[in-house]
A and B are shown apart, each in its own frame.
Chain A
Amino acid sequence: MSQSYNRGLIEDFGRWREFSAGMWAWIFHKFTGWVLVGYLFTHIAVLSTAIPASSQDAAVLAANEDIYTTTIVALESLLVVRILEVGLLAVAVFHILNGLRLLFVDLGIGLESQDKSFYASLILTGAITVASVPTFIAGAF
């Protein structure tokens, strides 16, 4: 018979002080998931400028003055966009690492150390994000 944990309703966020590591992992996974799906819709909307760009003159495309290139260049010239991209990376890396943790737990591997693997996900996310800042900010100033 399988054992289950009764820690009360996790959706009752008012109990946050009582939350254990696994419950925080669940909340962070949901939060980062919401951000990523929101970004997916925004991302496709911005990339859609490639549709009108594809019918612009060859000379305009060759000069990189088409609507797609100018939109991306304008966005990337804004420091706030670069900072948001670092945030997006942090969100994506955590979702990937914690997602791997969840896949392993679902396969029955590592349940005993699920709290440690959550902390490892957080530390690794922080390290990868910090190490990526120079690449993400390059050219913004």
Chain B
Amino acid sequence: MAEHYSSFTKGGRLWLWQRITAAFLVVVLAFHFFLLHFVYHADEVTFAMSQGRMETLSYYSLMILFLVTATFHGVNGVYNALVNQGLTGTKRQAVKWTLVAASVVLLVQGVRTANAWAGFTTFF
């Protein structure tokens, strides 16, 4: 039997979260594509239809969780790719905090958008 092999350091929490979010996203991304391209077609999209879905609390919660997990998985993936390319020191810190800032902007804007459909506050 082959030994366990992974290129990532064992024990890291980000490593584990990258995989937990991956397992979630595999299912939800497939669902998202199926619902919005095969059940509803892309050229039939209307504000009212999107609003109808997002006003359902279970759908709204799923989409918020989708936003959070996709943002973490994507941005952490970019960070890992850059570290693997040899990013170190001050540059690594600068990239890290730029990615954190970009994630915050994406999350805020994503929640505002979901809220606009659900009838919640869009804050500003």
Contacts and interface: CB of A to CB of B under 8 A. Distances in A.
Interface in B25-46: 25-26, 29-30, 33, 37-38, 41-43, 45-46
Contacts, number: 118
Given A37-B77, A50-B50, A112-B2, A85 B42 contact: yes
Interface of A: 1-5, 11, 30, 33-34, 36-37, 40-41, 44-45, 47-48, 50-51, 53-54, 61-62, 64, 66, 68-69, 72-73, 76-77, 82, 85, 89, 92, 96, 99-100, 102-103, 105-106, 108, 111-112, 132, 135-136, 138-140
Contact of A76 (B2, B43, B117): B43
A41 B78 CA distance: 13
Contacts of B65: none
A101 B43 CA distance: 33
Contact of A2 (B3, B19, B33, B81): B3
